[in-house]
Amino acid sequence: MTPMGRTLMVQGCASSVGKSLITAALCRILAQDGWQVAPFKAQNMGSRSLTVGGKEISAVQAMQAQAAGVPPCPEMNPILQKPITDTVAEVIVMGESIGKLSVKEYFHFKRTQGKAIVADALQRLRRRFDIIMLEGGGSPAEINLREHDLVNMGAANLADAPVLLVGDIDRGGVFAYITGTMLLLTTEERNRIKAVVINKFRGEISLLEPGLLMLEEKIRRPILGVIPHISDLCLPQAEELHVTNGGQIKSTEASYQDTYDRLAQIVRESISMDLLYEIVGLPSGRT
């Protein structure tokens, strides 16, 4: 029997806390350490996409695949919603459109088909890669969406993934965001959270340390690291990406490889790599 790849998930206390960037950075770091890594987001919403072998996936997962140094594939983003109005979106499943669905129709699709589609995509990736880096969407504490969730704890359960919880300190209130998120999770969900990442920090880290210690006491989880605010990082946009005949992603304006390396270095230097590998359950790198 083929061994299944390990999993690690990045979830956030809210939208725009830096989940996508941190996921890309961890893809790059783990690839640099010798592992075959694939990004994964069960359900993405956005208009930016990339066509790969006639199949359409989110440009964000394509970018993360480029950071990991692997060809993108529909399994990395099995469900993509492309908004048309506030209540209607075109739904792309495994790279192919199934039409325009209303919110009610989409929830019916999730209840009847979504879980099986996501589970199958995950299984395929886990047979091919050492580590699957999952990205959540929004917040896992949206308790009104919990029953049919596919992108946060729903995906974590399917992948049996340990979770890193990310908070954005730049917007203020990060300690309350993190503590409140943990409070609203079920016991089972809370147990999946293995460590916390503070993102977009500006200033002197020593001034933050008393708050970090108090936070660890409150939530009983370690701080994996504090990542600085990165204001001058230019990652490729969807229109700058194209796929070669061999399935690799190339960028029209620049290779962006130096950018991925710089991002990886910043994150690597900001987190505990020993703790990261302990959470994943793998030795720290390959020889």
Token digits for 253?
A: 């304006």
Q: Is residue 174 part of a domain?
A: yes
For the stretch 87-116, pLDDT in tens is 999 999 999 999 999 999 999 999 999 999
Name the band, by pLDDT with cuts 50, 70 and 90, for residue 241.
low
- The region, left, alpha or beta by phi > 0 then psi within -120 to 50, assigned to residue 16 is left
Share of the chain above pLDDT 90, in %: 80
The 223-228 sheet, strands edge to edge: 37-40, 131-135, 6-12, 163-168, 193-201, 223-228
Distance CA 197, CA 226 (A): 6
Q: Looking at residue 253, what is its pLDDT?
A: 46
Q: Is residue 1 part of a domain?
A: no
Distance CA 7, CA 165 (A): 15
Q: Are strands 88-93 and 96-102 parallel, antiparallel or unpaired?
A: antiparallel
Q: What is the mean pLDDT of the chain?
A: 91
Q: Looking at residue 128, what is its pLDDT?
A: 97
Distance CA 43, CA 52 (A): 17
Q: Looking at residue 254, what is its pLDDT?
A: 56
Name the band, by pLDDT with cuts 50, 70 and 90, for residue 76.
very high
For the stretch 181-222, pLDDT in tens is 999 999 999 999 999 999 999 989 999 999 999 999 999 999
- Burial of residue 204 (CB within 10 Å: 0-12, 13-18, 19+) is exposed
Q: Is residue 159 part of a domain?
A: yes
Look-up: residue for tokens 């979504």?
114
Q: Looking at residue 146, what is its pLDDT?
A: 85
The answer to whether 278 and 3 are in contact (CB under 8 A) is: no
Q: Is residue 117 part of a domain?
A: yes
pLDDT (average), residues 21-36:
97
Q: Is residue 166 part of a domain?
A: yes
> Residue 56 half-sphere exposure, CB side, CA atoms within 13 Å?
18
Listed range (52-61, 82-91, 123-132, 230-239) with the worst mean pLDDT: 230-239
The answer to whether 2 and 112 are in contact (CB under 8 A) is: no
Q: Looking at residue 3, what is its pLDDT?
A: 77
Number of domain units in the chain: 1
CATH of residue 61's domain is 3.40.50.300
For the stretch 139-183, pLDDT in tens is 999 988 888 899 999 999 999 999 999 999 998 999 999 999 999
Q: Is residue 287 part of a domain?
A: no
Structural domain containing residue 127: 6-280
pTM for the model: 0.92
